[in-house]
A = this chain, B = another copy of it.
Amino acid sequence: MTIPDLTDVHPAWLPAEAFRAVGSRHTVVHGDGMLVDTVFDEVERACAAHGGTVRRGTGQQDGVPRPAGDPDAAPVGAGVTPAQLVFALVPTIPAVAPPGGEATGSPDGDPVDAPRAGLDATGAGPLGPEGFAVARHGEVTVVLAEEPAGLLYGLFEVVRLGEAAFGPPYPARAHRPAMRRRMLDHWDNVDVHPVMGQVERGYAGGSIFWRDGRPRRDHARLRAYARLLAACGVNAVSVNNVNVHATEARLLTERLDDVAEIADVLRPYGIRVHLSVTFAAPVVLDALPTADPLDDAVRAWWAETTRRVYARIPDFGGFVVKADSEGQPGPFSYGRDHADGANLLAQALDPYDGVVHWRAFVYNHRQDWRDRSTDRARAAHDHFALLDGRFRDNVIVQVKHGPMDFQTREPVSPVITAMPGTRLAVEFQVTQEYTGQQRHVCYLAPWWSEVLRFGWGEHGRTVAGVAAAGGDLVGVSNVGDDPFWTGHPLAQANLYAFGRLAWDPRLTPQAVLDEWIDLTFDPAATADPELLRGTLHEVMDDSWRSYERYTAPLGVGFMVRPGHHYGPDVDGYEYTSWGTYHFADRDGVGVDRTRATGTGFTGQYPPPWSQVYESLASCPDELLLFFHHVPYGHLLHSGGTVIQHIYDTHFDGMAEVAEMCRRWKSLAGLVDAALHARVTERLDEQLRCAQEWCDQINAYFYRRSGIPDAHGRTLY
C-alpha cells in the first residue's frame, strides 16, 4: 500500500512534521499481518521525509523482543544499524507494567471511576486485541502488543509523544481502550436528499463516501481519513445516514459492492464498516408482504441477506437501525416492541460476531403543544427501560447522551443507568448541529467529558463506565469533503477528541487539546510556541461554555430556527409538533418536569438525582429551566435572578467571542495562511451570530418580562 500525499486537503493532525521523531530514527518492525504492514508503511513514509530507516524484523531469528522489563529487548544483528524504535508482537505480556507504571482503561473496571478505585496503579492483565505497551530502555523505544492492531495504535502513541518517546528511559506503560468499539456514524446520503442534502446535518461540504447517488471513489481521501481515525483511536464507521431512504436501502443488497469497496480502503487501519439499514428492508427490497420481526420468512430473509453481506465483507461490523422514529419504519407497525425488532437483526448477525446498534431515539414527533403532560424527555426511558434484559447479547442499544437531542446543555439521559441487563452505547454528536454548525468555535470535549464523568450515585458506574461495559461510544461524524475536513478547521479538534475520549475517558479536555495542537500545528517549529499553544487554548478551552452563554440559558433548549437549527428563534419550536418548549410568559419561563407538579420526568432518575433535580433548592443552575418553570425574579444559587442571568450571560458570551476574534488575529503568521483565513472568516460570522443571539434572546425576555437590565445596557 502506498500512503498518498493529498496536496489539496489539510493534513489535520497527521502532517509530515508529526512524524519527525519517528521518521528520523532507525526502526525495526516485527510481525506479520495487514496492520503490521500498515505500521511498516507509515514508518517507511516517515523515514522518507525525515531521514531515518526502517526494516522488517525476521521473527525469532531476528529476535522477538524479550519481556519489556529486559533492557536488551531490542536486538542488534551484525552489520545492521542499531534499532532505536522496535515494534513487536508478543503472545502474552504477563507483567508489562511494574508498580508505578500507567495503564489506561480496563475492559472490566470503570474507566473514569478507576483512579478513585485504585485500579490505575497496576495495569496488569492482558493487553487485549487493541492494547499495547510502550517502554524506553536505554537508547531503544519498544512498542509491544498482542495483536497487530495494538502495534498500529502504539505507533500513533509514539507519534503523539514525539521526542518525548525517545528521551530518558521509562518503564512500560500499558494502554488499553476503555471502549471496545469507538465508532463514528456518518449521516451521509447516497442520493442528495432534497432537504437534507448529501450529508444530513453536515457542515463540511459533501460526503467523502458518496456523491450524487454513486460512490465517490476517492480512495486516497478515504485512506487519509482512515489514518486520521486510527491515529485518534476510532475503529468503526457506519457509512450511511440512519434515515435510510430508497437508494441507501439497497446498499444492503444489490449495492453491497459499494460498501465492500469502502471497507477495503479502511481495513488496513483497523476500521470496520457498519451499515444503517431500514427495518422495512424485506418489504422495500424484496417485496415481502411484511417486515414483522416474528415472521419466519422475515427472519429467513435477514439471515440470508446477512450471510451474503459477510460472504462479501468478512469483517463487516453490523447494522445500525433507527426504527419507529421521525417517520422511519419499525416493529411498532407490527404490534411488536423494540426488543423483538432488535433481536431479529441480532440473530441474523450472531453467526458472524456482528452487532446491531439499535437507537433509543424514539419519541412522538406529532405532539400537541397545548398538552403539557406529554414530555419528549421521557420518551426513550418510557420506551426502553422496561425492555431491559430482553435484548440478545449482540444488541447494543444506542442512547443519546441526553434525553432530548444533542442540545447545548441537557442532563444525562436516565436511560443510561436504567438498563443494567443491556449493552448500551452512548451517542455524542460530533457534528455541531445545535452547537454552531462548524461556523462557531465550540470545542465539545469539556461537555463530553462532563457527561462521561457523570456518576449515577454511590454504587453505580459513571456514564463512561456504562459505555465501557456495553462496549461502545458512538459519535455522529462532522467530516465532509471540505479541504479542512470539518468546515471549521478548529472543529477537527472535536473529531480528534471524540476518538481520544472513547479510548480513554479519563483524559482531560485540556490534555487532549494539547495533543491535537502539538500534532496539528507543530508549535515547536514556530517563532512563538507558547503564544500559539496559549492562544489556541484561550480560544478553544472554554468555547462550549461561551456558546452556551450567548445561546440557551439555564438548560432551555431548541430556541433555534426550525429546520436548519442555526441561529436564534425563541418561539421557533414553541407551537410545533416536535415537543420542545420553554413556556415563557410575562411571569416566568421553563419546563416543569417535576413529579410534584410537572411531567414527572425527574422520576426516571435514580436517587440522588431524582431528588436533586426535583427540588428547586438543589437543582443545578445550568439545568434549572430544563426541570422547572420559575418566575423571572427567581434567585439562582449563583445569587442573581433568572432574568439578570439571562442578560448577563448573553452580554458576556458575546464579549467572549469578540475576545476570541481579537486573540485569533495574533496568530497570523504562526499558522498556515489558508487555515488562518478560514478561521477568521468563520469567527466573523460567529461574532455576527453571537450578537444576534444576544440581542434577540434579551429582547424576547425583556419584552415578555418588562424587567430592565440592572446595568442599563441596551435591550431592544
Contact of A211 with B by CB under 8 A: no
Cβ-defined contact, B703 with A586, below 8 A: yes
Contact of A370 with B by CB under 8 A: yes
CA distance in complex: A586, B584 (Å): 12
Q: Which stretch from A85-93, A162-170, A525-533, A568-576 is at the chain B interface? A: A568-576
> Known contacts being A370-B716, A695-B370, A716-B370, is A704 close to B586, with CB within 8 Å?
yes
CA distance in complex: A463, B699 (Å): 40
Cβ-defined contact, B568 with A569, below 8 A: no
Cβ-defined contact, A706 with B585, below 8 A: yes
CA distance in complex: A706, B585 (Å): 8
Cβ-defined contact, A571 with B571, below 8 A: yes
From residue 547 to 572 of chain A, which have CB atoms closer than 8 A to chain B?
A: 563, 568-571
Contacts of A508 in B (CB 8 A): none
Contact of A705 with B by CB under 8 A: yes
Contacts of A583 in B (CB 8 A): 703
Contacts of A569 in B (CB 8 A): 571, 575
From residue 379 to 423 of chain A, which have CB atoms closer than 8 A to chain B?
A: none
Question: Number of residues in A with C-beta < 8 Å to the partner?
Answer: 25
For A696, the closest partner residue in chain B by CB is B575
- A233-273 CB mask vs B (1 if < 8 Å, else 0) is 00000000000000000000000000000000000000000
Residue in B194, B696, B699, B704 whose beta carbon sits within 8 Å of that of A704 in the complex:
B704
Residue in B369, B584, B706 whose beta carbon sits within 8 Å of that of A587 in the complex:
B706
Contacts of A570 in B (CB 8 A): 571
User: Distance (Å) between the CB of A692 and the closest chain B CB?
Assistant: 8
User: Distance (Å) between the CB of A257 and the closest chain B CB?
Assistant: 31
Contacts of A695 in B (CB 8 A): 370, 575
User: Distance (Å) between the CB of A195 and the closest chain B CB?
Assistant: 10
Q: Which residues of A contact B (CB under 8 A)?
A: 194, 369-370, 563, 568-571, 575, 583-587, 692, 695-696, 699-700, 702-706, 716
- Listed by A's residue number, 22 A-B pairs whose Cβ atoms lie within 8 Å are A194-B194, A370-B695, A370-B699, A370-B716, A563-B563, A568-B575, A569-B571, A571-B571, A575-B692, A575-B695, A575-B696, A575-B699, A583-B703, A584-B703, A585-B703, A585-B704, A585-B706, A586-B586, A586-B705, A587-B706, A703-B704, A704-B704
Contacts beyond the supplied A194-B194, A563-B563, A585-B704: 10 A-B pairs with Cβ under 8 Å: A569-B575, A571-B571, A571-B700, A575-B695, A575-B696, A584-B703, A585-B706, A586-B704, A586-B705, A703-B704
